[in-house]
Amino acid sequence: MKNISFNRIYNTNCIDGMKSILPNKIDLIVTDPPFAIDFKATRQNYNRTASRVMQGYNEIKQKDYYDFTFQWMSEAFRILKKSGSMYVFSGWNNLKDILNALDSVGFTTINHIIWKYQFGVVTSRKYVTSHYHCIYVCKDEKKRKFYPFVRFKKTDRTQDGHSLHYRDKEDVWEIKREYWTGDKKTPTKLPAEIIKKILQYSSKTGDVVFDPFLGSGQVAVVSKMLKRKYVGFEIVPEYYDFAKNRLDRNQYRLKA
C-alpha cells in the first residue's frame, strides 16, 4: 500500500497497512484486537433471534498470538508520536501475551483499566466474567499528552458532594454495553462512551486517531464526531463495508 491518507479507512491487513504510514504520525491508537479464543460470530452469542451477525471474524490461533501481537505492536510503536498514547482492549484469555508484547516492544504502561459492563456469560463451574481489560500505554512518558480536566473541573461535584473529576478518572469504568439496532451487525463493538472518554483525555481536536483492527468502525465514527482525524484498517471485506457505511452516515450523536 502507498499514500495512506487520514480521514479514510482501508480494507487491508493492519501489519501491511501500517508499513505504509511514516514514523511518528499518529497521536492516539485505540484498538480491540482479535480474541484468540476460537470465537464464533453467530447470533447465538448475542441471544438475538432476529439478528444477523456478520460472519468472517478473522481469528488468530493461540499458538501464534504473541508473535502476531509483537508484530503489530512494533509497527504501532514506530508510527506513534513520542507524545502519543495507545489503549489496547483485551479479555483475560490472551492478556499475558498482550502485556509481554507491550514490554518487549518498549511501551511504557500508564494504567491498567478495568471496564465493568452490565452482563456476562452465565457459568456453572466458575465465576461470571463481566469485565474487560484496557491497557493504557505510551511511547515516551515525559512527552505523553493527557488532558485531566477536559471532562470535569476540579470543583465539579455530584449531588451528594463527591468529586466528579476523581470518580471519572478512577481506573474501573462502569459503562454499559451497547445494543445494536437493526438486523445487520458485527460480532463485537466497544461502547461509544468508552471511546469518547479515551479521546477526550488523550487527544484534542485535529489529532490523528488510529485503529488497526477497525471492526464495526466504532473508533473512526466517534473520532469523526469529536473532530479528530482518523485512519483505520479492517481485513474482513464485509466489516470494512459496514464501517464505511457507518462513517458515511455519521451514525452517532454523542452526549456532551
pLDDT number for residue 183: 53
Count of domains forming the chain: 1
Cα–Cα distance for residue pair 122/203, rounded to 1 Å: 37
Whether 49 shows a pLDDT value over 70: the answer reads: no
Q: What is the average pLDDT score of the chain? A: 87
Q: What is the per-residue pLDDT across 212-244, written as a single tens digit (0 to 9) for each?
A: 999 999 999 999 999 999 999 999 999 999 999
Whether 44 shows a pLDDT value over 60: the answer reads: no
Question: Does a structural domain hold residue 193?
Answer: yes
Question: Does a structural domain hold residue 166?
Answer: yes
- CATH label of the domain that carries residue 91: 3.40.50.150
Q: How confident is the model at residue 48 (pLDDT cuts 50, 70, 90)?
A: very low
Question: Does a structural domain hold residue 256?
Answer: no
Question: Does a structural domain hold residue 200?
Answer: yes
Question: Does a structural domain hold residue 157?
Answer: yes
pLDDT number for residue 121: 74
Question: Does a structural domain hold residue 156?
Answer: yes
Let me know: does 72 contact 98? Beta carbons within 8 Å. no
pLDDT number for residue 28: 98
Range of the domain at 134: 8-249
Question: Does a structural domain hold residue 54?
Answer: yes
Question: Does a structural domain hold residue 212?
Answer: yes
Q: What is the per-residue pLDDT across 85-134, written as a single tens digit (0 to 9) for each?
A: 999 999 998 999 999 999 999 999 999 999 998 877 778 899 988 899 99
Q: What is the per-residue pLDDT across 150-176, written as a single tens digit (0 to 9) for each?
A: 999 999 998 999 999 999 999 999 999
